[in-house]
Structure 1
Amino acid sequence: MAAMLSRPILLATLSLAPFGAIAQEPVSVVATVGMIGDIAQTLGGDCIAVETMMGPGIDPHLYQATARDVQTLNRAGLILYSGYGLEGQLGDVFARYAERVPTLAVSEAGIAREDLIATDDAYGVDPHLWMDVSLWARIVPVIAGQLSELAPNCATTIDANAETYGAELAALHDWTRQTIASIPQTQRILVTAHDAFAYYGRAYDIEVAGIQGISTQSEAAIADIRQTADLIVEREVPAIFVESTINPRTIQAVIEAANQAGQPVEIGGELFSDAMGDPDTAGGTYIGMIHSNTTAIAEALGGTPAPLPQALADWAAQWTIE
């Protein structure tokens, strides 16, 4: 943890935080995306109050801060964002907030650049790190350390929650790998609306093809649609997937093109890519996001979900998942 906290952004923010002054009441935490906010809430419990800027169905690549967001950020005791370009120009906004509010780019603090997937676009790296559970788990101690600094009276509880949650994520990673391995090798190809699943593919040994690139700032070109349809025909892909934050019309165009070429293909389900599901649903948790995606992928491509491990029993019971 000491190595993580030596990063310049953390030194700049931790020195500004009046830790003792806010430890007696819940810390107001603002997270950009649900995949961060859910972890913070899980670790902090009643010691923190989390607000997420970008809810279900919101694309972080295109997001622009609203007047309400500014008010929320101005009230924050801690700002958590991913970094590595996920939030686009909002990164500059957070850099300014870091001058007066504890502000943490959790991916940059917890995940080394050498573990990222390089890209040849404006991002330079793929920011969809939560798709590899073993990578995303590295932000847990980072967030736990920051919360413990801000709420020292809760530090013991936060540390215990972090240990439990870390074990759950380790079990989720193994379960995902086993489930994807059940898909026949010839059918193990994941076709989605945009290129958000590269880390998932690398971690769980499944080939990935996105119609669009990493960013969703521009529409897919006709050539992209035709190229994807050709791949589906060549590989006899039985199902492709829509995403909760992407307009499904490009997927429909690919399906039509593949069908015209004689390859029947259907929508295998809706995947969570850049945002989680609705609050108060299993898909509205990070664990549920990965579980839902993996189950849909396996079942549509000829695999069978593995039994859930004991470490996820409490999570499964909470959401009535067998």
Structure 2
Amino acid sequence: MNKVLIIGLFILTLSCKNAEKNDGKLKVVTTTTMLTDLVSEIGGDHISLQGLMGAGVDPHLYKASEGDVSKLYEADIIFYGGLHLEGKLVEIFEKMEGEKTTVSLGDMLPKEDLISSEYFASNFDPHVWFNVQYFKQFAQIVTDELSKADPENDQIYSENNLKYQQKLDSLESEIKSIIETLPKEKRILVTAHDAFSYFGKAYGFKVVGLQGISTATEAGVKDVQNLSEFIIKNNIKAIFVESSVPKRTIEALQQAVRAKNFNVEIGGSLYSDALGNPGTEEGTYIGMFRHNVNTIVNALK
């Protein structure tokens, strides 16, 4: 291959890369699937969006690949959960502060609204998306940040936000109606790890997780025995596995309960730290929330 052809190919490759870079769209990167869905709702086709984590991925334990780091450094805006949710990515985000726009959504909520936690460096439970009202605040923050970075499409982001806020209001009305069909004394939710405290506080459930708030903490034999006694004492009909947490701990809990001559069923799988597969109803925040509430209520009735 002669030098002229090589130079020509190099220039063509460079031109293609520049065209890709200068397509006029903001390059946005999100961490969790919940945030990817949210930012997609607000940004639509006017942003170039990449989510780092897929369905069933546990953000507590997630480690960035070399490809992930490249995506983060090439992004115009990064949206992440914050409150130490993405524990192993915190150092990367801290290094980027001042270099690019990094938005820690959970840390932008009023501290008085957060639930304290000794398990996280932030000292707060990061699973805030299980209160729809907090997710509505996330949507507004995302809208403001996209509008600031891309004022030409400000109106579009605002309109998309308005539509999504209305969808979230409808979702909350729907789930409250479903929960009302479950007697109050049966509203006890036992899951693999303590991800549902905001859900419990907002919608009237007592929530008990076998593991702590972070899946990095393992449940011990004593935890299993104590919780098995709690289940029997409160006559709990069903317990739940989670899509992003191995089900062996909940199965061990079920066996411990049955060993004491009490039957408890596994009521189904809940989505906690990640959405379902793309293209399914559970692959959206709204579909995930609806699935969880229906699963919980139907199993506990």
Is residue 113 from structure 1 mapped to residue 130 from structure 2 by the alignment? Answer: no
Is residue 73 from structure 1 mapped to residue 72 from structure 2 by the alignment? Answer: yes
Q: Distance in 2 between matches of 1:38 and 1:78?
A: 15
The amino acid that maps onto 1:171 is S
Indicate conservation of the 8 Å contact 2:128/2:134, yes or no: yes
Residues 40-61 of structure 1, C-alpha deviations (whole Å, 9 max, x = no match): 1101111012111111111111
* 1:98 to partner: Cα distance: 2.5
Partner of 2:231: 232
Partner of 2:49: 50
Q: Distance in 2 between matches of 1:57 and 1:196?
A: 14
Partner of 1:248: 247
Is residue 26 from structure 1 mapped to residue 25 from structure 2 by the alignment? Answer: yes
The amino acid that maps onto 1:101 is K
User: TM-score, normalization: structure 1?
Assistant: 0.84
Q: Distance in 2 between matches of 1:66 and 1:211?
A: 30
- RMSD of Structure 2 on Structure 1 (CA): 1.4
Q: Distance in 2 between matches of 1:259 and 1:143?
A: 47
Partner of 1:4: none
Q: Distance in 2 between matches of 1:106 and 1:120?
A: 20
Partner of 1:85: 84
Indicate conservation of the 8 Å contact 1:65/1:90, yes or no: yes
* 1:150 to partner: Cα distance: 2.1
Is residue 174 from structure 1 mapped to residue 170 from structure 2 by the alignment? Answer: no
* 1:91 to partner: Cα distance: 2.0
Identical-pair percentage: 38
Q: How does 1:73-222 map to 2 (within 5 A)?
A: 73-109=72-108, 111-123=109-121, 124-222=123-221
* 1:217 to partner: Cα distance: 1.0
Indicate conservation of the 8 Å contact 1:233/1:262, yes or no: no
Q: Distance in 2 between matches of 1:271 and 1:50?
A: 26
* 1:209 to partner: Cα distance: 0.7
The amino acid that maps onto 2:110 is A
Partner of 2:282: 283
SS of the equivalent of 1:267 reads strand
Indicate conservation of the 8 Å contact 1:131/1:199, yes or no: yes
Unaligned segments of structure 2, at least 5 residues = 1-20
* 1:264 to partner: Cα distance: 1.1
Q: Distance in 2 between matches of 1:137 and 1:232?
A: 34
Indicate conservation of the 8 Å contact 1:23/1:151, yes or no: no
Question: More displaced, 154-163 or 174-183?
Answer: 174-183
Indicate conservation of the 8 Å contact 1:23/1:152, yes or no: no
The amino acid that maps onto 1:40 is V
Judged with a 3 Å threshold, the aligned counterparts in structure 2 of structure 1 residues 136 and 23 are, in CA distance, closer, same or farther, namely farther
The amino acid that maps onto 2:48 is A
Question: More displaced, 232-241 or 119-128?
Answer: 119-128
Judged with a 3 Å threshold, the aligned counterparts in structure 2 of structure 1 residues 260 and 30 are, in CA distance, closer, same or farther, namely same
Residues 191-244 of structure 1, C-alpha deviations (whole Å, 9 max, x = no match): 000000000000000111100110111321001111111111111111110001
Q: List, as ranges, runs of 4+ consecutive aligned residues in structure 1 with deviation greater than 6 Å.
A: none
Unaligned segments of structure 1, at least 5 residues = 1-21, 303-322
User: TM-score, normalization: structure 2?
Assistant: 0.90
Radius of gyration: which is bigger? 2
Indicate conservation of the 8 Å contact 1:47/1:151, yes or no: no
Residues 277-318 of structure 1, C-alpha deviations (whole Å, 9 max, x = no match): 11111111111111111110111111xxxxxxxxxxxxxxxx
